[in-house]
Structure 1
Amino acid sequence: MRLIQALSLCLALSLSLAAPPQHKEDHSHKGKPGGEGHKHELHHGAQLDRCKGMEFDAVAVNEEGVPYFFKGDHLFKGFHGKVELSNKTFPELDNHHHLGHVDAAFRMHSQDSPDHHDHQFFFLDNKVFSYFKHKLEKDYPKDISAVFPGIPDHLDAAVECPKPDCPNDTVIFFKGDEIYHFNMHTKKVDEKEFKSMPNCTGAFRYMGHYYCFHGHQFSKFDPMTGEVQGKYPKEARDYFMRCPHFGSKTTEDHVEREQCSRVHLDAITSDDAGNIYAFRGHHFLSISGDKFHSDTIESEFKELHSEVDSVFSYDGHFYMIKDNNVFVYKVGKPHTHLEGYPKPLKDVLGIDGPVDAAFVCADHHVVHIIKGQSIYDVDLKATPRKLVKEGTITQFKRIDTAMCGPKGVTVVIGNHFYNYDSVPVMLMAKIMPEQQKVSQQLFGCDH
């Protein structure tokens, strides 16, 4: 009897192990025109790599200006970094299992309507979710028709168009080749025809420009007419993602990508001759007068390989900080790596890494180091070198990089930069300086 029971138990276990895993139900709907099948196929545990090329379901910017790229039930935040489940940030999106993935999304910008300003809207099938500061608003989700009357279900894309870009605060909705302009105040819908645009599978407004994503390419368009000007479409991985092993092939394409990329800089500096060097991911851009050059970091700084935290120029040398190490190169053609480096950052400058920025102003011998909101000074002629806290930056919670040049201190955050006459002025400033665009006003990109 015991033998029979034992055999029965073994048989039951073997059948259980052999049974196929149970997947959650797939609530898919019709594919987006011009793209891959628009199905909710990407379940928990899927390994997604945006650098391999993918058609995003929706793109939007959060209230801090960070772009969110949605794919299936996953989300990419910013221009690089690993994928995560979208319900980690927006748990309610997963509470309605009859709904698919995010079809469209936008962040409303409206100074005239505080009830909508900085609210994020997500569209799933026939429902709309409204979030404010990552919290779902009361009584949401609602039917799309209840919040945006005249707008169809199962959208392809959406993007906000605030005044003065549009005559009134407007949301542009895309479904196939149908375009709807929705007036946020009157609730009136105007149907448009954007003849020169491809069908958008995602759309978003970034740095005052409007982008239509189609497949893994994008086009910049006029929100009122849909007119696409310039050389489009372009490859999204060249401009909106930091992909180490992907890039255009020609020197001209390399330069344009680094000039016009929307990905934030890791480091920037200018040498004694006034030439600017900017570093982003695995690439760098150098500017000498009106001449531009771009290549991989490894091509000219092979010991460093890629991705620096900060770079500063002093006495004809580049000091390149990566994690807790300092690499030093003599400026020239080619740049010469100094023997004995890298050395520990703590030994060279008396501070632990990582640091956000480091710079030396012309004819000075003090390096200013920014870490978080604190700025420290190190006298490079002193022996031993001593770290001294100079002050606290109050106008910014964080910065990406900074440099010092003929125009003073340039602070870079995202695709914007701000100029200060000096470090003391930056620390004491009460009024924010003019916001300028890195890609256009610093690097001369024409779009």
Structure 2
Amino acid sequence: MTVVLLSLYVCLALALSNAAPVQHDKIMIKDAPEGHSHPKGEDHHDALPDRCKGIEFNAITPDEKGNTFFFKGDHLWKGFSGPAVLSNSIFKELDEYHHLGHVDAAFHMHHQDDPSVHDHIYFFLDNKVFSYYNYTLEQGYPVEIQQEFPGIPSHLDAAVECPKGECITDSVLFFKGNEIHSFDIKTKSVKKKVWTHLPNCTSAFRWLEHYYCFHGYNFTRFHPVSGEVTGIYPKDARKYFMRCGEGFGHGGNASRQRCSEVKLNAISTDDKGRTYAFQDAMYLRLDTHRYGSHHFPISRLWKEISGGVDAVFSYGENMYIVKGGQVYIYKSAAHYTLIEGYPKPLKEELGIDGTVDAAFLCPNQHIVNVIQGQKMYDIDLAATPRAVKKERPIPFPKIDAGFCDANGVKVFIGPEYYLYESPTILALGKIKPAPQKISPEKFNCEE
């Protein structure tokens, strides 16, 4: 009996091995080698892609919480470190459209005038667009791309948001080949540009007011209005946008400055609500820390400024930068532009001789407070000509930077600051308030 059963098992095994393969419901993945397909649920899900081996991303976008997602095939990475996971583990409805291949493009909507779409994430798959908020697909989606974004083609290569102030209006840049379709979110009008100097972008990413075209495992930074590329590009994305261990150190592995070592030269908020801290020849955005913090050369935004600054303040639509007895005035519209005729001497512009230590302007005021040594000068910016209106002593022999917002006046000395209710309290106060330490979260430093 045992021999008979064994013979039956052998015959059954041989029959199964020679039978036609079971037909699975197959899903073609665009990233599979030509002539290959991956059956749904099979082991291609287990073979996690490794972005540190130099892959090409299909899409990149932040979410409303500041997390950045990198997409490749049916996988994604959340943040600048960590392994890949299946896209449908976070955006589950995308799984229902796997026959479309991968996410072609994605962007984070910036349109504060319309809360119904602001902070949503849009995904583009073939000729469809998906809208997500808080990782939940909005009711009624997906829809045809033309229905949501008239004039925008299907099968996109990349997309990136461009808020007003960086572009002329709240816009989205859509990439297809070397054609860029600039979509005005409010009017739904489209302007087509051809940027042959840019590589074909397979994904695009806005990070801390900078715009990046990703191609292969490289990236190229570009101007969102003109497409201009300045600097030496392309650069390896693994050195800047992910943590890939030894040999890929710049962005993710570079050691951060200790908070006790921070010494600021200036801080200011412009009329668009963008807050900048200046330290030596670098600047840092303080209002975007949820997207990560990074120091950039001052000359990247303010091209005419080399090295550090003495003081910075904003008045109306202009940003004033004081350096070495000269005043530079920049229009704070899309990518700061130096006003014709500047720089001018400090004496001619503000009526002060020599150099200054700090300057600040409180919200909705036209009196700039300029600090020079142990003296604070009040200057009326609405007056012509501008001259010192009042001179008052302050209880510090020298300060590094000053800043005024709705919370009061902050006087920075090294890594600490002193908070006063107003410039008048600063000048008249006999007792110094207790010093406070700068925030490591905002200033990208280690305690």
- Partners of 1:216 and 1:236 within 8 A in 2: yes
Give 1:92 shift.
0.5
Taking the aligned partners of 1:112 and 1:37, their CA distance within structure 2 comes to 46
Distance 1:240 1:59 in 2: 11
- Aligned equivalent of 2:224: 223
Distance 2:108 2:262 in 1: 43
Q: Which residue of 2 aligns with 1:131?
A: 132
What is the DSSP-based 3-state SS (H/G/I as helix, E as strand, rest coil) of the residue aligned with 2:204? strand
Q: Name the SS of the counterpart of 2:192 in structure 1.
A: strand
**Does structure 2 conserve the Cα–Cα contact (< 8 Å) formed by 1:43 and 1:73?**
no
1:15-414 matches, within 5 Å, as 16=16, 25-28=26-29, 43-247=44-248, 258=250, 261=251, 263=252, 268-269=257-258, 406-408=414-416
TM-score, normalization by structure 2: 0.55
The answer to whether the 8 Å contact 1:40/1:100 transfers is: no
Q: How much is the aligned-residue C-alpha RMSD, in angstroms? A: 4.0
Change (3 A) 1:114 1:244: same
Amino acid at match of 1:45: D
| Structure 1 residues 270-303: Cα deviation after superposition (integer angstroms, max 9, x where no partner) | 78999xxxxxxxxxxxxxx99xxxxxxxxxxxxx
Give the total of aligned pairs: 283
- Range with greater deviation from structure 2 (163-172 or 208-217): 163-172
The letter for the 2-side match of 1:174 is: F
Task: Give the Cα–Cα distance (whole angstroms) in 2 for the partners of residues 203 and 181 of structure 1.
Answer: 14
> What is the one-letter code of the residue matched to 1:7?
S
Alpha-carbon offset, residue 222 of structure 1: 0.7
Tell me the distance in 1 between the aligned counterparts of 2:28 and 2:434.
Answer: 57
Kindly state the Cα deviation for residue 3 of structure 1 after the two structures are TM-superposed.
6.3
Report the equivalent of 1:7: 7
SS in 2 for 1:95: helix
SS at match of 2:191: strand
> Deviation at 1:2?
8.8
Q: Deviations over 1:406-440 (max 9, x none)?
A: 2228xxxxxxxxxxx9997469xxxxx899775xx
Listed one character per residue, the Cα deviations across residues 148-186 of structure 1 (whole Å, up to 9, x for unaligned) are 121111111000111111122111111111211111122
1:92 alignment partner, SS class: helix
Q: Give me the whole-angstrom Cα distance separating, in 2, the residues matched to 1:40 and 1:172.
A: 32
Cα deviation per residue 1:103-162 (whole Å; 9 max; x = unaligned)? 101111111121211100111111111100111000111111211121111111000111
Q: What letter matches 2:184 in structure 1?
A: N
Q: CA deviation at 1:82?
A: 0.8
**SS, match of residue 173 in structure 1:** strand
Q: What stretches of structure 2 of length at least 5 have no aligned partner?
A: 264-279, 282-411, 418-431
**What amino acid does structure 1 have at the position aligned with 2:7?**
L
Identity of aligned residues (%): 46
Aligned in 2, Cα 1:435/1:165: closer, same or farther, shift over 3 Å?
farther
Seen in structure 2, the aligned counterparts of structure 1 residues 270 and 59 have a Cα distance that, compared at 3 Å, is: closer
Q: Tell me, in whole angstroms, the C-alpha distance in 2 between the residues paired with 1:147 and 1:272.
A: 50
Contact (CA 8 Å) 1:179, 1:193: kept in 2 or not? yes
Query: Alpha carbons of 1:214 and 1:272: their partners in 2 closer, same or farther (altered >3 Å)?
Result: closer
Give me the whole-angstrom Cα distance separating, in 1, the residues matched to 2:15 and 2:155: 41
TM-score w.r.t. length of structure 1: 0.55
For structure 1, the 5+ residue unaligned runs are 248-256, 275-288, 291-403, 410-420, 428-432, 443-447
